[in-house]
Amino acid sequence: MATFLLILHGICALLLIGAVSHQALGVFWPRRPGQTDFVANARGIRPQIYVVPIMILFVTTFVLGAAIYPVYRVYVRPPLEDLRVLYGIGLFEIKENFAAIVLASLPAYWYFWKRTSDYPTTRAALTAIVFVTVWYNFIAGHILNNLRGFG
């Protein structure tokens, strides 16, 4: 069951990566008029339409991660401690902490994207924070799973 949830967690994270990357490209590197190549098309989106999907995917990924966290704590972390693979534990600690803080920021992220057209700097900053966190967590999760998965 834990392995199934872990795979589901990874699939949701993959979808989330796509959504936050599109949104970040749309915010920080928007397509200019006349650009029609593949990369320009990836950038030529309306960032606000990704807000709700990002929130749903983030919460789903977070809940799945929280559900399998005890398995990590009991079966994965102790061997890493015994083997002194401390950087693996550190990568996970950063991941869990960033995820929790961004989760609490999601209502504000929604507010500045959907409820007001003011504060573009805030919108961009929150988008960047979500983008960096999701990418870091995705990579850290993969490294940790490669170090020692659930088996």
Partner 1 sequence: MNNSVIARAFPAFAIGFALFYAPAYSFTGGNSTFSWPLFTYFPSVGDYGEFHWLLVPGSDTLGPPMWWYGWIGSSIIAGLIVAAISLVLPEKATMKIWSTAVWVAPILAFIFLLDYEMFWFVPGWMPITSFLSGGGAG
Residue ranges binding partner 1 (CB under 8 A): 66, 69-71, 73-74, 77-78, 86-87, 89-91, 93-94, 96-98, 100-105, 107-108, 110-112, 115, 118-119, 121-122, 125-126, 129
CB of 7 or CB of 63, closer to partner 1: 63
CB of 42 or CB of 111, closer to partner 1: 111
Q: 32: exposed, middle or buried (C-beta count within 10 Å: 0-12, 13-18, 19+)?
A: exposed
**Shortest Å, Cβ 124 to partner 1:** 9
Distance CA 79, CA 106 (A): 34
**Shortest Å, Cβ 132 to partner 1:** 9
**Shortest Å, Cβ 52 to partner 1:** 14
Q: 65: exposed, middle or buried (C-beta count within 10 Å: 0-12, 13-18, 19+)?
A: buried
CB 48 within 8 A of CB 124: no
Q: Which long-range contacts (CB under 8 A, 24 or more apart) does 82-86 make?
A: 85/147, 85/148
**Shortest Å, Cβ 6 to partner 1:** 16
* Closest to 3 in 3D by CA, of 72, 82, 63, 74: 72
CB of 45 or CB of 110, closer to partner 1: 110
CB of 40 or CB of 98, closer to partner 1: 98
